[in-house]
Amino acid sequence: MYRIIFFALLLPLFISQISFSSTPNLKKQYDEFQKTYSKTLDLSKDKTLFTKNFDSNSKSLKKKYDVFSKTENTEISIEGNQMALDIEMLEPLEFLASSRMDKESCSEAELLNEMNSTSAEKTYQKIKEAIQTLCKYR
């Protein structure tokens, strides 16, 4: 009987210990993702750098998200939600990076970004500026 009580008391402690130990790991993963994300957005300041590195940065962000998502298992955390949204917001730049960056591609990237305008206003503005910089020659 005492054994059962003992385990019943110990079990919640054990579970909270597991989630506590995984939290710092998730936090670290999230912070790393955000660092890479800022760097990725900054790439658009230089067209050559953008063309060279955007694709690999974008892939790295997706990989980081996948690792995070697997770590949190079936939980749906707000940090994970943020990472998923950040990835989707990058899509107009992803499209631009894979295009010839001509007038038509630039205008399509602008349209894709416009369709994201209400999803995350600050990021939308940053990406709008990035597209304008990358399509400056127009």
Partner 1 sequence: MEKIFFLSLLFAFNSNAQEKCLSGKTGNNHLIDQLQKARSESPISKLISAKYNIDQKTEADSNCVDCEKPKNKSPQKISANQKTYFKSECIEAAASIQTGSREISCPDQKIAKHQFCFTKSLVTYQNAVLSEMYKCVKFTTGLPLTPDGLFEMYTLESGFKPAYTNGGGTGLGQLTGIFIKDLHQKHRGLSTLNSIAKSTEKSCDAAKIILNKDLKSQPQFKNKCEFTQYGEGMERNILYTLSGLASSWKKDIEPLMKDFSAKNADNNLLPKAQERALLNSYGPGGRAAARAAVRRLSKLTPEKFIAAMDKPMMTENNNNLTVYTTRMHKKQNIIGQKLSGDLRSQFNKEGSSACTE
Interface with partner 1 (CB under 8 A): 65, 69, 74, 76, 78-82, 84-85, 87-89, 91, 108, 111-112, 114-120, 122
Q: How is 37-48 classified by DSSP, letter by letter?
A: HHHHHHGGGSHH
Q: How far is the CB of 9 from partner 1 (least distance, A)?
A: 31
Q: How far is the CB of 13 from partner 1 (least distance, A)?
A: 27
Residue (18 or 76) nearer to partner 1, CB: 76
Q: How far is the CB of 58 from partner 1 (least distance, A)?
A: 14
Burial (Cβ within 10 Å: 0-12, 13-18, ≥19) of residue 89: buried
Q: How far is the CB of 129 from partner 1 (least distance, A)?
A: 17
Residue (53 or 77) nearer to partner 1, CB: 77
Distance CA 54, CA 16 (A): 40
Residue (31 or 46) nearer to partner 1, CB: 31
Query: Residue 45 corresponds to which tokens in the numbers above?
Result: 């300041």
Residue (57 or 94) nearer to partner 1, CB: 94
Burial (Cβ within 10 Å: 0-12, 13-18, ≥19) of residue 110: middle
Query: Residue 46 corresponds to which tokens in the numbers above?
Result: 């230089």
